[in-house]
Amino acid sequence: MAHSNVPISAESVCFIIARSRGFDVADIGTDAHSGTNATDKAMTTVPEAHSEDMTQKELRAFINALREDEQADLVALVWLGRGDGTLEDWADLRDEAQREHSNRTAADLLTEPLLSDHLEEGLSQFGFTCVDFEIDRLVTQGY
């Protein structure tokens, strides 16, 4: 990436974007513990578990294999992409992500609603798009 304080490669981010697209939008189920009808309780929706999903396992392994500073970049890109700050706030966002880093980064990111959209928006603020990369190649060859 063009910014000197962003060690993660745009190609790595695009791989995560491409692979996470499959479960960003569709996997909302109804909470079984919600009311039986709308008059009992407001219906609650929760993301379905993806523990057996191979794409999620692949993404979890990919993110876990990243260096700690690269994981902090991913978190900061999500925050940037969802509007928690601007490009001018990048250093602060990244510092906060570094301070909050834990061994749950992959799990936390994979439960983030609209993960791919937020990463894509954050990446675009640095002047990159995933069109710059052969996404089909990244996905099929398991970048």
Q: What is the pLDDT of residue 53?
A: 76
Which run of H or of E encompasses 17? helix 10-24
CB 87 within 8 A of CB 81: no
Beta-bridged to residue 30, according to DSSP, are 45
Q: For the chain, give every domain's residue range.
A: 10-140
CB 14 within 8 A of CB 21: no
Residue segments in the chain with a per-residue pLDDT below the cut of 70: 1-7, 22-52, 132-143
Q: What is the pLDDT of residue 96?
A: 96
Q: What is the pLDDT of residue 51?
A: 45
> What does the alpha-carbon distance between residue 93 and residue 68 come to, in Å, rounded to a whole number?
15
pLDDT digits (tens, 9 = 90+) for 103-143: 899 999 999 989 999 999 999 999 888 886 665 555 555 54
Q: What is the pLDDT of residue 24?
A: 53
